[in-house]
A and B are shown apart, each in its own frame.
Chain A
């Protein structure tokens, strides 16, 4: 029990530290690599929660694909150091800070005042694994949602190719 506590706080510190580094960094590539650190730390948290499959998918999709895609986005567009480093106006940043801090205060009080029912320590070795998730995906309740997600991904990728290619070809 003590080890999982240490792992939890280590991963939380890693994720929040990476996110803070992302905000304070001035170069776009450094931002993306600190985001990759955040993605990996959160994958660790998923595994700590008992959701190994989601954690591994997180590593593949986020730390693998999305990070590489973002690096491509940075490389294919021009980034003057001044442009990346330049912040928006001071009033805009102040307003954004007030909005974010206000939202956090509201969420903090909502979460800390709620009395969640105490949970009897569930047996961690019998948690739902890949098999249960697969059965649920293909069960009659969720099969249409699952197919819809596949169609969404397919149309998104075709749309992305069409848009990034640009032009209709006959110009």
Chain B
């Protein structure tokens, strides 16, 4: 195994996703939870780019090089959309955090239980 394979990228993405999930479930600080969700979004990006780069099925069925390039450009485009959505999410999330902080005087998510009462 002399070259980095698709499997290694996918495993790395899975590890990153799991770490982000654990962080989002255990932290109490709202900012850190947002960053953990970013980590999970980024692992999806890694999977997209790895599949686009090593799109084996496409290359096997059609040795035409332009199609493989098209698939890789498409995967990069999806990753860029993902980054745009992530940026919007962080901006709105932090704005909501600041608005709630004004009300509750804390960034601890355990204190945000108004709807449960």
Residues on B with C-beta less than 8 A from A39 are 42
Say which size band chain A's interface belongs to. 35 or more
The answer to whether A111 and B11 have CB atoms under 8 Å apart is yes
Say which size band chain B's interface belongs to. 35 or more
The answer to whether A116 and B26 have CB atoms under 8 Å apart is no
The answer to whether A49 and B98 have CB atoms under 8 Å apart is no
The answer to whether B18 and A163 have CB atoms under 8 Å apart is no
Main secondary structure of the interface of A (DSSP, over half): helix
The answer to whether A78 and B105 have CB atoms under 8 Å apart is yes
Binding site for B on A (CB under 8 A): 1-2, 4-5, 8, 12, 15-16, 19-20, 22-23, 28, 31-32, 35, 38-39, 42, 45-46, 48-51, 53-54, 57-58, 61-62, 65-66, 69-70, 72-74, 76-79, 83-84, 86-88, 92-93, 95-97, 99-101, 103-104, 107-108, 111-112, 116-123, 126-128, 132-133, 135-137, 142, 145, 149, 152-153, 156-157, 159-161, 163-164, 166
